[in-house]
Amino acid sequence: MKVQALFKKAQAAAPKAPKAVKKAAKVVKNIGSKATRGWLGGAGGAEGLDKWYGPDRALFLPGGLLDRNDLPDYLDSTLAGDYGYDPLGLGKDKDTVDKYRANELIHARWAMLAAAGILIPEGLQANGADIRG
């Protein structure tokens, strides 16, 4: 009897779904205009990037634990993900950093292809394709 009561409550909540659909349709109408919204209803667009890039960027440790004067000179926020953390000193040589960056891009592209190679056959097989292998 308790299980049936749970399903009856779920059926009673079902009429609320059309309201959510209407609300989503309203948001879709605004996407083409300049009135777009960001995640959780905030302002859309790429705003506030100063906290991630430039000399006053966020660091890997809070301000009380790490002084900006202690950062190595070669960590000048020119590369993505530069938050002042290089304990092994791998970024000292500019040529080596360029080689590391090129290798990282190639490996990231191979990883994206691998993910597609895993997900696409799984999706096709889940929808009835006869895939053997």
pLDDT of 86-122, one tens digit each? 888 888 888 998 899 999 999 999 999 999 999 999 9
Residue type, 90: L
Q: What is the DSSP string of 81-94?
A: T-SS--TT-TTSSH
Classify residue 91 by burial, with Cβ atoms within 10 Å: 0-12, 13-18, 19+.
middle
* Secondary structure class of 25 (helix, strand, coil): helix
End-to-end CA distance of the chain: 47
**What six digits make up the tokens of 15?**
């009429």
Is residue 29 predicted with pLDDT exceeding 50?
A: no
Q: pTM (2 decimals)?
A: 0.49
pLDDT band (50, 70, 90) for residue 45? low
Q: Alpha-carbon torsion 118, 119, 125, 129, what sign? A: negative
